[in-house]
Amino acid sequence: MATKIAAMRKMFSQLPAISTYSPVTDALQSAGQLDEQDIANALKAFSTMPQSTQVFANPVLHHAKVDCDGADITLNIRSFSLRGVIPESEIISSGLAPAHVIFVGLFGRRPKKVEADFDEEGALRELINRKFYRASRAIREDTSGRKALIEQVANFVQTFPESGPELAMQHFSILRKANRAKNRIPERGLNDERRAGRLLIQMIGTHMENVAVGAMSTYMRGLLENNASLIPDQLVHQTDALITEEKNAGKTAFQTCYSLLLGHRANEIENKALERMGIIQMHHGSAGSNMVARYMATLHTPYVSDFLIAAHMNLDGDRHFGAIHDMTHFINVLEQLSPEKREDAIRNEVLGGGIPTFGHPEIAAAGRVNEIQQDPRPAIYLEPVLQAIDNGNLALDYKQKQRLGMIQRIYQIAFVEGVIKPGREDDPPLRLTPNTDFGGWTVQEALGIHELDRTLLTYIFRGFGWMLDVREQLQDRHIIRPVIPPDPQIIPTGSSEPTIPDLVISTHNRLVQGDAFSAH
């Protein structure tokens, strides 16, 4: 046991390598050596640009041709590689577990088996599970006294039954801070003076407690929707029974969350679909929520929970960084219209530049030429769901089929057909490719996840992505938003591995015609 504890401490104390790639600084030195004063003066204006990140790289790795209403369109597929160690294609083809991918992100290398009784991936998985399962039984104090956290969540849901999981997490994050203050428990917060291992363990513990609160509140709200007469004690009993059943069955914290999110014990198909979607979302590079996490780390946030909650708020916005909710609003509007008016509404939304879950603020995901950049994640998420429909393992009700038919039609108009802007009738149509939230919304609609809960899965996994950013940010606080390309050493070259382009092409062909969400 002592050997195992020592190995655990050693593992968590390790930090990934700091990036040394700084092309502006290098160019300034070269300009000075060449006595190119004009170039040096120009470069000085960029001398404070942030250092390169070592966390992610998402270059164009694949190319694929698809037919779009008779036009040959080349998709330049941007795919990511986490720390230059794990590409998306390996996560999919090898079925890597969440703990394996999270480990690579946190430590910058693959997990090893150090001793006969100590496996690094297993140790990280056990810590995540332990922090999650302990959370429901943790004792906290609120205005009515000391109670188990699960009881307090039940009272919150009973009082605010229309609240999504983000509100429950925010509420109990504040209570956590209040409890520490009242009991004079020191909070060292998030800063670069802390031991890396202790800070990481605290971040994981705080995050998994937030995850437990959000997932329990989601399940309880679903119970209340089915039976409004349930009292808090009954909500506690049924929720605790599901968590205990999953734990006794050997389910991981993540798998138990899938069941709480779905409102029933997740089957193998549902586990596969949600796990794949979650693990691919673990780190989104310089997306808005990651920027907030980095900024909070740079500010030396007094409470670890603050950085998690602040970063999460971006996921529940609209447009690019919270487009799942925006798509829900749009689909709800379309449901009230006749089929003919729906077509006009979709085209107007595309023309207005506000179509949710399409386009991207940082990549060339829109264009009028025969080349356009493509995010592969929608296809990656959709593949197991479409496979389950074909195999008869996933049945959709009438409303789901109608709503999924609408999002298929949005895909056809926004990308396959494109739109013509007034005054540009002689130009090729403007086309937009879907982003990650297109896949996220569609999969969760097919699985029957409540509209209020569709950013919870992203929070569960991206929370670990924020920890990646914090560990890098505290080593080099000047990065904040990575605007310098990643170190060339971590950028993979073009790949002939067919997993990703094959998924993108097959999903596109499925969405182009017919009823994509009926068995093929």
Cα 74 to Cα 67, 252, 294, distances in angstroms? 9, 41, 35
- Residue 23, pLDDT score: 81
Q: What is the mean pLDDT of residues 184-206?
A: 92
Q: Average pLDDT in the 3-32 region?
A: 84
**Do residues 216 and 136 lie in contact, with contact meaning Cβ atoms separated by under 8 Å?**
yes
Nearest-angstrom CA–CA distance, 123 and 102: 12
Q: What does the block give as tokens for 254?
A: 């993540």
pLDDT score for 284: 66
Strands 81-82 vs 71-78: parallel, antiparallel or unpaired: unpaired
Q: What is the pLDDT of residue 203?
A: 96
Number of domains in the chain: 1
The model's confidence at residue 81, banded by pLDDT at 50, 70 and 90, is confident
- In a domain? residue 421: yes
With a cut of 70, say whether residue 481 has pLDDT above it: no
End-to-end Cα distance, the chain: 54
Closest among 425, 419, 434 to 504, alpha carbons compared: 434
DSSP secondary structure of 419-453: B--TT-TTSPPBEE-B-HHHHHHHHHHHTT--GGG
Q: 126-179: per-residue pLDDT in tens? A: 999 999 999 988 888 888 888 999 999 999 999 999 999 999 999 999 999 998
- Alpha-helical (H) ranges within 95-230 are 98-107, 120-135, 149-159, 165-182, 196-226
In a domain, 412, yes or no: yes
Calpha distance 315→436 (Å, rounded): 12
Asked whether residue 10 is assigned to any structural domain, the reply reads: no
Alpha helices, H only, 355-397: 377-390
Rounded to whole angstroms, the Cα distance separating 311 from 291 reads 8
Classify residue 340: in a domain, yes or no.
yes
- For 363, residues 6+ apart whose C-beta sits below 8 A from its C-beta are 78, 373, 375
Q: Which among 329, 337, 293, 283 has a CA at the least distance from the CA of 314?
A: 293
| Distance from C-alpha of 191 to C-alpha of 304, rounded to nearest angstrom | 9
Residue of higher predicted confidence among 320 and 336 = 336
Q: Are 211 and 218 spatial neighbours (Cβ–Cβ below 8 Å)?
A: no
**What pLDDT, on the 0 to 100 scale, is given for residue 84?**
85
**How confident is the model over 221-228, as a mean pLDDT?**
97
- At 2 the pLDDT is 63
What pLDDT does residue 50 have?
Answer: 67
The strand order across the sheet containing 371-374 reads 60-68, 71-78, 371-374
Q: How confident is the model at residue 286, as a pLDDT?
A: 57
Task: Kindly report, residue by residue over 87-122, the tens digit of the pLDDT.
Answer: 889 999 999 999 999 999 999 999 998 777 789 999
Contact status, residue 154 vs residue 243, Cβ threshold 8 Å: no
Tell me, yes or no, whether 64 lies in a domain.
no
Is residue 319 over pLDDT 70? no
Tokens of 95: 């079925």
Q: Please report whether residue 34 resides in a domain.
A: no
Number of other CB atoms surrounding residue 476 within 10 Å? 18
Query: Are the C-beta atoms of 311 and 455 separated by less than 8 Å?
Result: no
User: What letter would DSSP give residue 136?
Assistant: T
Q: Once rounded to an integer, what is the mean pLDDT over residues 239-244?
A: 98
Q: Could you tell me how far CA 51 lies from the centroid of its own chain?
A: 24
pLDDT score recorded for residue 485: 66
pLDDT above 70: residue 322: no
Digit-coded pLDDT (tens) for 356-369: 899 877 777 888 88
Q: Quote the CA–CA distance of 481 and 504 in Å, as a whole number.
A: 29
**C-alpha closest to that of 166 among 467, 437, 464, 452:** 452
**Strand pairing category for 71-78 and 371-374:** parallel
| Segment 383-438, tens digit of pLDDT | 999 999 999 999 999 999 999 999 999 999 999 999 998 888 888 899 999 998 99
Contact between 357 and 420 under an 8 Å Cβ cutoff? The reply is no
Q: What is the C-alpha to C-alpha distance for residues 234 and 450, in angstroms, rounded to an integer?
A: 21
The yes-or-no verdict on residue 480 having pLDDT over 80 is no
The band of 45, judged by pLDDT with boundaries at 50, 70 and 90, is confident
The phi and psi torsions of 214 (rounded to 5 degrees) equal -60, -45
Nearest to 390 by CA among 516, 262, 277: 516
Give the bridge partners for 373, in sequence order: 76
Q: What is the pLDDT of residue 46?
A: 74
What pLDDT is attached to residue 365?
83
Residue 104 maps to a domain: no
Type and span of the H or E element at 63 = strand 60-68
pLDDT at 490: 79
Confidence class for position 27, pLDDT limits 50, 70, 90: confident
For 106, phi then psi, to 5°, come to -75, -35
The CA angle 130-87-57, to the nearest 5 degrees, is 100
Cβ within 8 Å of residue 484, ≥6 positions away: 21, 22, 23, 24, 49, 50, 51, 52, 53
Mean local confidence (pLDDT), 210-225 = 98
**What pairing do the DSSP bridges indicate for beta strands 118-119 and 86-87?**
unpaired
Name the pLDDT band for 474 (thresholds 50, 70, 90).
confident
Residue 206 has pLDDT above 90, yes or no: yes
What pLDDT does residue 9 have? 86
| Structural domain includes residue 35 | no
Quote the domain boundaries for residue 415: 321-448+499-512
Total Cβ atoms within 10 A of residue 364:
16
Name the average pLDDT for the chain: 90
Instruction: Please give the helix or strand (H or E) that residue 32 lies within, else none.
Output: helix 23-33
pLDDT of residue 405: 97
Q: Which of the two residues, 474 and 152, has the higher pLDDT score?
A: 152
So what's the pLDDT on residue 219?
Answer: 98
Cβ burial, residue 201 (10 Å; 0-12/13-18/19+): middle
Is the pLDDT confidence value at 36 over 80? yes
